[in-house]
Structure 1
Amino acid sequence: MVTPRFLLVMGATLAYYVCVGVLIPVLPVFVENGMGSGEAMVGATAVAFSVAAVAARPGITWIGNRFGRRSMMVWGSALSVVAGLGHLFVTEAWQLLPLRAVMGIGEAGLFVGASTVVVELSPDNRRAEAASYLSLSVFGGLAVGPIIGELVMGDVASNARGLDAGRFDAVFWLMTIFAAVAAVVSLSAPRWVGERPAIAEHKVSWMQREAVIPGMILAGGIVSWTAFSSFVPGFAKQLGLGGSAAFFTLYSILCLLIRLVGARWPERIGLKRTVMFALTCLTLGMGVVAVMANEAGIWIGTVLMGFGMSFLYPSLLAMSVQRVDDMRRVAVVASFTAFFEIGSAVGGLSLGVLGEVFGKRSTFVGGAVFAAAGLLILIWYRNRSVNRGAVAL
């Protein structure tokens, strides 16, 4: 399964997500210090990215079915090259919005293309394993990228203002280079895996039914992750801790180890059982942080979040494409992966309101509630499948 082509797809994905990761710590500083804007504009850039990524899914599906899987990866990366170069010419904060939208479309194209290719290169009973390996590239890029971005940008004083406050242009050139590397490596991806599927006569729809239930469950988990990643840093400072870097380092190590060692576990244990375990970990993880509200609680929550997030996406992706033919696979993968952005948007908005009204601990309660909601949806879905099987008999 892990052929040279598979590894090259992983390589292109890694390069692309380094490009994405480089900008994570830099963009808020560029908006606030470089542009003199505020948190509202930082939030608006995130919304522009997510909305564009979701809205582009039908077009990405059409491209993938018409021109091949490789085209999604190449053109997605190429769009990010254009957006990266565009950042060099920004003089006002609002100009970032269309650039972030282009980046969102590019990210959607690359990720849908890579996810589809690794699924199609894998045997039916090893698709969750393939998704686990691909997620190593995503996770690795998002882990390494921010470190590189901060190093290149340099220290920026909190009261510094202006485009010379940090080495922003160097960061934008760097993200452009990584996007270009992703585009070049993507050329090695297969256009089709096996024979080209027949062109569908029906119109491409925005959402495929096979992706809805797995996607809703994924969104619940992503909201839980948003609570952890967005509010643990501030909560740690509130508790008088030095920072949150140690927690995220542990989380990163756990995810890497689990995705390497446990890549085959979901199919061996059962996809639905694995998702149930993952959601239980996420619910308990956020619940522990909220209830204990101390350093020990964050450590325990970090371990539980590491286990939960490591198994959630690969198992759900495999569930969503279980009974999908070649022609519709791109559409289902596109629909399913859209729930990453949907979960992030819902989590950012709802948890932000909770935090403003009730304080940071309430955001962890909210994360636990969304993960528990995903668990309830899974239980309902499993029971419905069992009942349908009984009726068929």
Structure 2
Amino acid sequence: MSHPRRWWILGVLCTALLVLTVDNMILTLAIPSFMRELGAGPADVQWILDAYILVFAGMLITAGSLSDRFGRRRMLILGLVVLGAASLLATFASEPWQLIACRAVMGLGGALAMPSTMSIVIVVFEESERRKAMSVWGMVSIVGLVAGPTLGGLLLQQFWWGAVFLVNVPLVVAALIGVFVVVPESRGPARRADPAGVLLSVVGMAALVWAIISLPHEGWSAPVIVALGGAVIMLGGFAWWEARTEHPMLPLGTFRNRDFTVAALSVVLLVFSTAAMQLALTQFLQLVLGYGAMTAALAFVPMAIAVLVFNVVGATLGKRLSNKTLIVAGMLVVAAAQAVLASIGPGDGYPLLAVSLTLMGVGTGIASPSIYATLMGAIPREHAGVGSAVNDTIQQGGTAMGVAVLGSVLSLGYTSALPESAPEAARVSLTDALAVAAATGSDGLAQAAREAFLSSMSLVSLVATVLSVAGTVFALVGLRRPAAPAAPVEQGKEEDYATP
């Protein structure tokens, strides 16, 4: 049965989800501030972003399993508390490494909380209303894409960089109050703990993400090779163990559902192709077009509006069209958006970028409800927590790979596009090049650096276009029509709701 307070519960869960998405996106506009005020170099900035992803992705499956076992509401509360405390500590950082450490702890908090936001939705809503509820849940994720940078821009105009972390504290408090008041406790069927599965999954995922992040910078060095080898052994051992243990933390049978597997791999290609967009565009808006932090944040509004509108359209069309049709159509529009972004030249300015962002929002809005319906429809309700974690792990893994690989392509493309006469200090990053140009009064260097960055951004967008098209083809060929229905729940397996 649907919970009588399900829509109030959804509102609270969306508040908690907004805390998580705003926290991750609010940093994008603070990148130049980290470089100026903390002395963070490009590698430091990469790890300020990736430390969160490393811990978040490494812990998600374990956190989802723990939420099913010990209580989804309990894990949501614990995650929010850890995230809020780490955010407060981050405001006192005086060195890049301190901020990286705080971001890692914030990733732990996010991993503990994130699976519960989706799994509780699955539990309190019946199938007839679940697509609508997941559409709202997905819209909040996208709202964070704009709310984070907008709030960050406003804070950076008025305060120091630490305010982008301090703002998390009141948001966490508000979310916690809502969770305590209206969210019920729920958990999966009682089963034994799986410590071997926990150890293998955490070490394997952390090693894999670390290797992916480090590979573009360090190449095939000994640590990277060891990490990749360790990841293969650990994750292979995890799959072997989970297939044989009596009480697995991850139901591997889910991956035998073709729609689930194809949708998951298509999402990896999609998020991989879009992961570097925020990293590149925030620098493009501020350092190439010369926008202030707030103006740069507002530049993403067309994307947010398009997502909100077409998310509703996608959820509505899902009643008449198959998930396959909507996923393919949405991803094709995203590919078109990346192609437009790749075509931006030095004299185009913002209008063409606005077209690209709008198309990105349209494609994401159309595809997202059907992607969530396909992925979560294959997961039994008693495994809602770990199933949600698998979905989040897939997306975060793709994001980590995208930021690492395409972020490195962006950096290498910028360096190679600079003229040979450019000073060595200007080759590190666009921020450093503009600082050298300001110190030497060289307008020519500043112009050359901006053009080199734009050329590199176009290269990254072209790669993203190819990947988006590949994801579209993969979904077109692999997804069945209609999508497979959700697996039935055995009677008595899912525990009744408990009062808060």
Q: TM-score range by the shorter chain?
A: 0.7 to 0.9
Distance of 1:286 and 1:335 partners within structure 2: 27
Query: Would you say the 8 A contact 1:228–1:286 is kept in 2?
Result: no
Encode CA deviations 1:344-380: one digit per residue, 9 max, x unaligned. 2222222234333372211111111111121122123
Instruction: Give the match for residue 278 of structure 1.
Output: 330
Question: Compared with structure 1, are the counterparts of its residues 183 and 238 closer, same or farther at alpha carbon in structure 2 (3 Å cutoff)?
Answer: closer
Instruction: Give the match for residue 11 of structure 2.
Output: 7
Query: Would you say the 8 A contact 2:332–2:469 is kept in 1?
Result: yes
TM-score of the superposed pair, with normalisation by structure 1: 0.83
Instruction: Give the match for residue 236 of structure 2.
Output: none
Secondary structure at 2:377 match in 1: coil
Distance of 1:350 and 1:179 partners within structure 2: 32
Question: Compared with structure 1, are the counterparts of its residues 25 and 256 closer, same or farther at alpha carbon in structure 2 (3 Å cutoff)?
Answer: same
Distance of 2:90 and 2:404 partners within structure 1: 26
Instruction: Give the match for residue 39 of structure 2.
Output: 36
Alignment match of 1:191 (pick from 185, 191, 207): 185
Query: Would you say the 8 A contact 2:323–2:481 is kept in 1?
Result: no
Q: How many residues align?
A: 373
Distance of 2:352 and 2:167 partners within structure 1: 38
Distance of 1:235 and 1:150 partners within structure 2: 15
Distance of 1:369 and 1:105 partners within structure 2: 33
Instruction: Give the match for residue 376 of structure 1.
Output: 473
Aligned alpha-carbon RMSD (Å)? 3.1
Alignment match of 2:111 (pick from 104, 108, 113): 108
Question: Compared with structure 1, are the counterparts of its residues 299 and 6 closer, same or farther at alpha carbon in structure 2 (3 Å cutoff)?
Answer: closer
Query: Would you say the 8 A contact 1:21–1:142 is kept in 2?
Result: yes
Encode CA deviations 1:286-305: one digit per residue, 9 max, x unaligned. 12332465456434322321
Instruction: Give the match for residue 320 of structure 2.
Output: 268
Question: Compared with structure 1, are the counterparts of its residues 168 and 303 closer, same or farther at alpha carbon in structure 2 (3 Å cutoff)?
Answer: closer
1:69-218 superposed matches below 5 A: 69-154=72-157, 167-187=160-180, 188-192=182-186, 196-199=188-191, 201-205=246-250, 209=255, 212-218=261-267
| Structure 2: segments with no counterpart, 5+ residues | 193-245, 414-454, 484-500
Letter in 2 for 1:101: A
1:230-245 superposed matches below 5 A: 230-233=279-282
Question: Compared with structure 1, are the counterparts of its residues 236 and 15 closer, same or farther at alpha carbon in structure 2 (3 Å cutoff)?
Answer: closer
Query: Would you say the 8 A contact 1:219–1:342 is kept in 2?
Result: yes
Instruction: Give the match for residue 371 of structure 2.
Output: 316
Question: Compared with structure 1, are the counterparts of its residues 372 and 114 closer, same or farther at alpha carbon in structure 2 (3 Å cutoff)?
Answer: same
Distance of 1:342 and 1:301 partners within structure 2: 25
Query: Would you say the 8 A contact 1:76–1:106 is kept in 2?
Result: yes
Aligned-pair identity (%): 21
Alignment match of 1:50 (pick from 47, 50, 53): 53
1:335-374 superposed matches below 5 A: 335-355=390-410, 356-357=412-413, 359-374=456-471
The 10-residue stretch of structure 1 (76-85 or 234-243) with the greater mean CA deviation from structure 2: 234-243
Question: Compared with structure 1, are the counterparts of its residues 288 and 152 closer, same or farther at alpha carbon in structure 2 (3 Å cutoff)?
Answer: closer
Query: Would you say the 8 A contact 2:69–2:189 is kept in 1?
Result: no
Query: Would you say the 8 A contact 2:263–2:479 is kept in 1?
Result: no
Query: Would you say the 8 A contact 1:70–1:189 is kept in 2?
Result: yes
Distance of 2:130 and 2:273 partners within structure 1: 25
Distance of 1:292 and 1:36 partners within structure 2: 31
Instruction: Give the match for residue 250 of structure 1.
Output: 302
Q: How far does residue 102 in structure 1 lie from its aligned partner after superposition?
A: 1.6
Query: Would you say the 8 A contact 2:312–2:365 is kept in 1?
Result: no
Query: Would you say the 8 A contact 2:327–2:371 is kept in 1?
Result: yes
TM-score of the superposed pair, with normalisation by structure 2: 0.67
